[in-house]
């Protein structure tokens, strides 16, 4: 996943237009017919505006008949001018001919121009729009989550966050796989193309101002290096790392990870449990899927609950977080809740 093309040095100081293709901001998808209709309406609006200007200043214009220009004459003049057709060599003399030229020939010319140059203009304007979006996004992104790796683990982590109410705009995906990034962009996520082991690539994600970082790479050594780099750039962000082998847990923690998930061992435990009590695995899946059934959630202790026991609350409380440490609900230390404690409890999904 993270051994792809070489990323230029100094990306974080590069101008915004140079980042188009590396940093991608999702765009709102619209129907091509809507886009075509908008272009036609803009062309018609410009045509009417030009005709109005000519008509207001009609005293300065004359035709080969010597008569004062009517609005139809002004519209015709605007038509042949904006369509770059020219004028003077062949001039419709009758009002009927000029009306036909205006309402029939001009729309055909506009459609022809749209078909001929529409694609080129679309590419150029899209690149400019992306550069503007990148500039605006880099100045406003705060307290977001950076997800390194958009494989199975990364996608599942993002689905869990979205199911728990996290906005798409608060998630940034980093990967070297263009196909994976295309899928992430299609899902409405901001993407960065490059290796997250490089500090410049992580800076593009705004990791310095991120609230959390999820490292979901396919290799433990890569995960360790990404964690070390992310912690160097952000001393306070919560870093969660997925690794394959439990023996690498201490290395990842020493690199700065707050939480480490051993994917192979976790899957192995669930497989073992499923052989004897498969319904337990079903319940675990339910708890890990926030958008349906039950889910494990966290909330602050309310003032009226201070001094009471978590076992007497209406929710099913699993543990209490005190000063950053998790204490299980059966421990005597949490028989009396304190101000500032957080409760880990089971809640029913609203969906």
215: phi then psi, degrees, rounded to nearest 5: -105, 110
Number of H helices, E strands in the chain: 11, 11
Q: Does position 54 have pLDDT exceeding 60, yes or no? A: yes
Which one is predicted more confidently, 182 or 20?
Answer: 182
pLDDT per position as a tens digit, 103-114: 755 676 666 566
Q: Which long-range contacts (CB under 8 A, 24 or more apart) does 3-6 make?
A: 3/176, 3/195, 4/176, 4/177, 4/194, 4/195, 5/176
Determine contact, residues 241/259, Cβ cutoff 8 Å.
yes
Poorest-pLDDT segment among 34-43, 245-254, 295-304 = 34-43
pLDDT value at position 89?
39
Q: Say how many CA atoms lie within 13 Å of 269 toward its Cβ.
A: 7
Handedness of CA 273, 275, 277, 282 (dihedral sign): positive
Least trusted range by pLDDT, from 47-56, 60-69, 296-305? 60-69
Give dist(CA 69, CA 258) in Å, integer. 78
- What are 195-231's pLDDT values in tens digits? 999 999 999 899 999 999 999 999 999 999 999 999 9
What integer pLDDT is reported at residue 225 of this predicted model? 95
φ/ψ of residue 311, rounded to 5: -75, -15
Stated pTM of the model: 0.59
As a whole-number percent, the residues of the chain with pLDDT over 70 amount to 71
């Amino acid at each position: 996943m993270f051994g792809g093309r070489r990323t230029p040095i100094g990306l974080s100081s590069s101008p915004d237009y140079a980042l188009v293709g590396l940093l991608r901001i999702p765009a709102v998808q619209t129907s091509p017919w809507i886009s075509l209709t908008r272009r036609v309406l803009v062309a018609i609006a410009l045509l009417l505006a030009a005709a109005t200007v000519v008509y207001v200043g009609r005293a300065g214009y004359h035709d080969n008949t010597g008569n004062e220009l009517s609005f139809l004459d002004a519209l015709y003049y605007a038509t042949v001018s904006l369509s770059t057709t020219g004028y003077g060599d062949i001039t419709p003399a009758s009002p009927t001919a000029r009306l036909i030229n205006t309402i029939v020939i001009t729309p055909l010319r506009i459609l022809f121009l749209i078909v001929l140059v529409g694609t080129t203009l679309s590419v150029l304007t899209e690149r400019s729009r992306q550069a503007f979006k990148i500039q605006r996004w880099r100045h406003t992104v705060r307290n977001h989550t950076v997800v390194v790796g958009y494989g199975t683990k990364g996608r599942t982590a993002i689905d869990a966050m979205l199911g728990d109410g996290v906005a798409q705009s608060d998630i940034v995906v980093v990967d070297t796989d263009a196909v994976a990034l295309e899928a992430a962009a299609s899902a409405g996520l901001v993407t960065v193309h490059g290796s997250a082991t490089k500090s410049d690539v992580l800076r593009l994600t705004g990791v310095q101002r991120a609230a959390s970082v999820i490292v979901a790479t396919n290799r433990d050594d890569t995960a360790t290096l990404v964690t070390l780099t992310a912690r160097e750039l952000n001393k306070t962000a919560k870093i969660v790392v997925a690794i394959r082998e439990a023996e690498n847990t201490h290395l990842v923690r020493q690199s700065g990870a707050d939480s480490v998930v051993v994917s192979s061992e976790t899957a192995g435990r669930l497989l073992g449990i499923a052989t004897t009590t498969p319904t337990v695995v079903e319940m675990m899946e339910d708890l890990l899927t926030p958008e349906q059934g039950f889910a494990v959630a966290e909330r602050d202790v309310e003032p009226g609950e201070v001094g009471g026991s978590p076992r007497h609350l209406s929710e099913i409380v699993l543990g209490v977080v005190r000063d950053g440490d998790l204490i299980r609900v059966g421990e005597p230390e949490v028989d009396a809740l304190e101000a500032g404690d957080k409760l880990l409890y089971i809640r029913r999904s609203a969906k």
